[in-house]
Structure 1
Amino acid sequence: MIKAFAASTFGPDTTGPEPDKLKIAIIGGGICGLALAAGLCKISSLEVHVYEAVSKYKALHLNAIKAMASIGPEVRQAYFNKATNMGEEEEEMVTQVILAQGPHMGELVAELGRAKGRKSVSRADLLAGLLELVPKRCITFNKKLRYLEEAQHHSGVLLEFEDGTYTEADCVLGADGIRSMVRKYVLGAEHPAATPKNHDQWQVYRTLVTVEEARKFINERWTRNVPILLGPKGHVNCIPLNKGTRLSAGVAVKGAALADGGDTKPLDPDLYKDYSEDAQQIVRLVARDTSASWSVGDHDHAPRYHKGRVAVVGDAAHASLPFAGNGAAQALEDAAVLNHIFREMARMEPFLEELALTGEQRIVAVLAAYDSVRRPRSQAVVDLARKFGRIYAFAEDGLHDDPQRMKEFFASAASFTNDVDVEQQNKDAIAAFWSYIE
């Protein structure tokens, strides 16, 4: 167990952590990192610190809401406090998937993300809510990781930051996003799955406008609800943000991103004249200003999520394309599982002491259990998101010609993501932890 940290990395609290606690370093203060910290900070036998690279500074599905509640009621409440009210607490809300081109134009083929009290929230708003749950002494900004290694001469993991400071931890949880440095450490920098991919060359043309402005151009209905309008030249969608004051509208086009990362072609509304009028209106709105556009990416499957006392979580472990809308939910499931295993470890500390298990052995068992439970499910969601995108683009096995088959597929996919038993997943992880202890 590490006895001292570099005090300069602890922000305003320079007293350093208590020496008898396990030191948990979380790299990245995004949704997953802050949700992890919000739960782990409540475990008295842990000293938790978040290192975020930036300066101080999306709609979630049913499994995300259940995972937040599993971490702690205050985490779930942070989401509801910041979210756009899309319905009453007991009202079930959904994303509607509608065919916007071809002979079945206008047909509803799916209702995704069904959940009571479902709301929409921007990433920035949710981060602000989660940040309020993490003690200020437990997070330091402007700390971009440069290097890490599990030191050979003592029991810790050495972390070096780009500002020249360093620290040590008993355990490192990399929540540092799709281009994760921690992922490169866990897999090896040259591993083919170490860096993000965009196999289908997706480009998302995106605009952000006030709802008042959007209503001048599009059906008012789509400033309050979430549609996904499908067609072969790109699928169209809208998401209300910032408590219903702003609207994110976009068109996702398969094959439009350039492999070298160069400029893409402008979005041409004339190409969408065979789409529904609702879809055409949204395309014209987006085409006015595409400055919020980006090329998406995801991760090929990693053979492992941890190496020794270092693990990846959230997008660093399993970044997915945005088309299934479950990336943040999977990150929150990661956080829920890890929080439950760490709580079990803390609860059973006297017994673990009797077994003469070192801090390192306990950490490795925690991370191995997390890996074994979360990797299969989260990687299945990565595959599912890729398939969603191809179906949305009318590029998957002729499904767009058979709305009934599409309905059956989406119903099955929605059940897989939303109907997970989060509490059973947590129990499975605890059982896995004890299997590694034995």
Structure 2
Amino acid sequence: MTRPDKKSLEVAIVGGGTTGLALAVGLLKRNVNFTIYERAEKFEELGVGIIFTPNAERAMEALDPRVLQSFTNVATHASGGTFSFVDGFGERGEDPQSSVEDFLFELHVEEGYKACRRCDFVDQVVQHIPEENVRFGKWLESVETDDNSGRAILTFQDGERVEADVVIGCDGIRSRVRGSMFGTGPSSPRAQYSHQLGFRGMVPLEKAITALGPEKSASVLMHTGPGAFVLTVPLAGVNAMHIEAFVLDKNEWPEFKADSDSKRYVLPATLDEATDAYTDFGPTVRALVSLLPEKIDKWAVFDMLDAPVPTYARSCVCLAGDSAHASTPNHGGGAGIGMEDALVLAEVLAVLSRRSSFDDFVISEALAVYSEVRYERSQWLVQSSRRTAELFTWKDREYRTDVEEVGQDIIARSHKLWDYDIDAMVTDTLQMLEKRLV
């Protein structure tokens, strides 16, 4: 159905996380009208660490330099510029200041790893989004397509209904937009427990140096071992060390209703629970875990490996970020893949918005291009990230003993993520649109 009376394309972004906010800034740059519908009463993110890998930084720059600047404003470089893998299990010695974790291999990351707190990044990005483009307290109930107008109708739990030409679900692992597209039954696409949980925390850098010594506290280190691993990222700019201690879990995650993802997937834990998981590891890992607070949380890691969506777009509705392809954090690439999604969507919607008229077919075809460009790469990340956890935790006996093969595998996977040609992705997108939107 052609809509020549429409003055401009109207886009609804459901969810104000990192992907949705970056997309919003990209749309502002391209003069595309949008409204963000956020279920919380304000933009809020947990104060955990986030890493954007080189591919993500290039996508952020292409979206709008202000997105990348929002990251660099609050990010700090880890000392050393490398990501070293060590044997955290078969450590020699009992004093973590002098004991030796055997070096396995290392990753070199262009200018080095940069990290920040997720909440600090969000606080920076939202400064570039006008208040009139955001509506808070809007908990989505469903998305439907009006048979008469061909537009999407969003229904919220407060009873309000609004229309949009395009709806983009950036609403996380429990996406209501995804549920409207594919259903919510047992066989529907959904995020499921990956049988990996984590204990996370930021500790004063001085405490880490006192416990481990200056050398072990100065570089990004992955302490590997059977069934578990610990990642440490020193952040000199904020005088803190970010610690992520992940454990493979044979149990199921308890299901219960909650009014937020943070309450559903983050449960209270104790320091004893964390330290018990690393009893057989070396003194360095045990010392690291003991630095975490007495009262901590344990984080369930969900992904969509076992129940993926068949496409990211249907009609005038599409998915981006975790709602499309939630992955485990083992590559440190989930948030960055969302930046790539946002860039492709911004380019697609900019092309649509410049048309003198558009109809249901044109919108559907344009969003289908987005899905085709993004599907294979983002699904690869979901698969590779799960596999990477198996390598970190010595799941394959041959990998435990063949360090060179493990290193080559992880390095190859990492560079496939980091070295992605962002410019070629945009060029391919525009060429496909030109062919499809005749």
TM-score norm. by structure 1 comes to 0.85
* CA drift at 1:19: 5.5
* CA drift at 1:326: 0.3
CA–CA distance in 2 between the matches of 1:62 and 1:69? 11
- Secondary structure (helix, strand or coil) at the match of 1:198 reads strand
CA–CA distance in 2 between the matches of 1:113 and 1:327? 19
- Secondary structure (helix, strand or coil) at the match of 2:163 reads strand
Aligned residue in 1 for 2:283: 277
Residues 1:54 and 2:37 are matched in the alignment: no
Aligned residue in 1 for 2:437: 437
Contact kept in structure 2, 1:2 and 1:170, CA below 8 Å: no
Describe the shift of the 1:220–1:137 C-alpha distance in structure 2 as closer, same or farther (beyond 3 A): farther
Letter in 1 for 2:41: S
Aligned residue in 2 for 1:15: none
* CA drift at 1:256: 5.2
CA–CA distance in 1 between the matches of 2:38 and 2:236? 23
- Secondary structure (helix, strand or coil) at the match of 1:190 reads coil
Deviations 1:340-361 (A, max 9, x none): 22233445x3xxx4xxx62433
Aligned residue in 1 for 2:326: 319
Residues 1:98 and 2:86 are matched in the alignment: yes
* CA drift at 1:272: 3.6
Aligned residue in 1 for 2:369: 369
CA–CA distance in 1 between the matches of 2:8 and 2:33? 6
- Secondary structure (helix, strand or coil) at the match of 1:394 reads coil
CA–CA distance in 2 between the matches of 1:113 and 1:436? 40
Letter in 1 for 2:10: K
Aligned residue in 2 for 1:67: 59
* CA drift at 1:285: 1.9
Aligned residue in 2 for 1:10: none
Describe the shift of the 1:336–1:207 C-alpha distance in structure 2 as closer, same or farther (beyond 3 A): same
> Which ranges in structure 1 are unaligned for 5 or more consecutive residues?
4-17
Task: Say which of 339, 346, 364 aligns to 1:339.
Answer: 346
CA–CA distance in 1 between the matches of 2:204 and 2:394? 31
Residues 1:299 and 2:287 are matched in the alignment: no
Contact kept in structure 1, 2:138 and 2:156, CA below 8 Å: yes
Describe the shift of the 1:383–1:319 C-alpha distance in structure 2 as closer, same or farther (beyond 3 A): same
Task: Say which of 239, 243, 249 aligns to 1:249.
Answer: 243
CA–CA distance in 2 between the matches of 1:368 and 1:93? 39
CA–CA distance in 2 between the matches of 1:417 and 1:342? 25
- Secondary structure (helix, strand or coil) at the match of 2:51 reads coil
Contact kept in structure 2, 1:25 and 1:172, CA below 8 Å: yes
Aligned residue in 2 for 1:139: 134
Residues 1:207 and 2:201 are matched in the alignment: yes
Quote the sequence identity (%): 27
* CA drift at 1:118: 3.9
Aligned residue in 2 for 1:11: none
Aligned residue in 2 for 1:86: 78
* CA drift at 1:269: 3.3
Residues 1:42 and 2:29 are matched in the alignment: yes
Task: Say which of 16, 22, 28 aligns to 2:9.
Answer: 22
Aligned residue in 1 for 2:19: 32
CA–CA distance in 2 between the matches of 1:111 and 1:126? 27
Letter in 1 for 2:433: F
Aligned residue in 2 for 1:402: 402
Describe the shift of the 1:291–1:132 C-alpha distance in structure 2 as closer, same or farther (beyond 3 A): same
* CA drift at 1:39: 0.7
Residues 1:226 and 2:214 are matched in the alignment: no
Contact kept in structure 1, 2:88 and 2:225, CA below 8 Å: yes
Contact kept in structure 2, 1:206 and 1:290, CA below 8 Å: no
CA–CA distance in 1 between the matches of 2:216 and 2:347? 39
- Secondary structure (helix, strand or coil) at the match of 2:81 reads strand
- Secondary structure (helix, strand or coil) at the match of 1:253 reads strand
Residues 1:424 and 2:418 are matched in the alignment: no
CA–CA distance in 1 between the matches of 2:435 and 2:236? 45
* CA drift at 1:331: 0.2
Letter in 2 for 1:255: D
Task: Say which of 291, 294, 317 aligns to 1:289.
Answer: 294
- Secondary structure (helix, strand or coil) at the match of 1:20 reads coil
* CA drift at 1:299: 0.8
CA–CA distance in 2 between the matches of 1:173 and 1:242? 37
* CA drift at 1:395: 0.5
CA–CA distance in 2 between the matches of 1:311 and 1:93? 38
* CA drift at 1:126: 0.9
**Which protein is richer in strand relative to its size?**
2
CA–CA distance in 2 between the matches of 1:311 and 1:113? 35
* CA drift at 1:311: 0.3
CA–CA distance in 1 between the matches of 2:23 and 2:236? 24
Deviations 1:361-390 (A, max 9, x none): 332222111100101000000000000111
CA–CA distance in 2 between the matches of 1:331 and 1:384? 16
* CA drift at 1:158: 0.7
Describe the shift of the 1:261–1:204 C-alpha distance in structure 2 as closer, same or farther (beyond 3 A): farther
Letter in 2 for 1:69: E
CA–CA distance in 2 between the matches of 1:400 and 1:106? 15
Contact kept in structure 2, 1:84 and 1:240, CA below 8 Å: no
* CA drift at 1:241: 6.0
* CA drift at 1:282: 0.8
CA–CA distance in 1 between the matches of 2:350 and 2:216? 43
Contact kept in structure 2, 1:323 and 1:389, CA below 8 Å: yes
* CA drift at 1:212: 4.1
CA RMSD in angstroms, aligned pairs only: 2.8
CA–CA distance in 2 between the matches of 1:38 and 1:336? 10
Contact kept in structure 2, 1:257 and 1:295, CA below 8 Å: no
* CA drift at 1:224: 4.9
CA–CA distance in 2 between the matches of 1:432 and 1:387? 32
Describe the shift of the 1:267–1:256 C-alpha distance in structure 2 as closer, same or farther (beyond 3 A): farther
Number of matched pairs = 410
TM-score norm. by structure 2 comes to 0.85
Aligned residue in 2 for 1:13: none
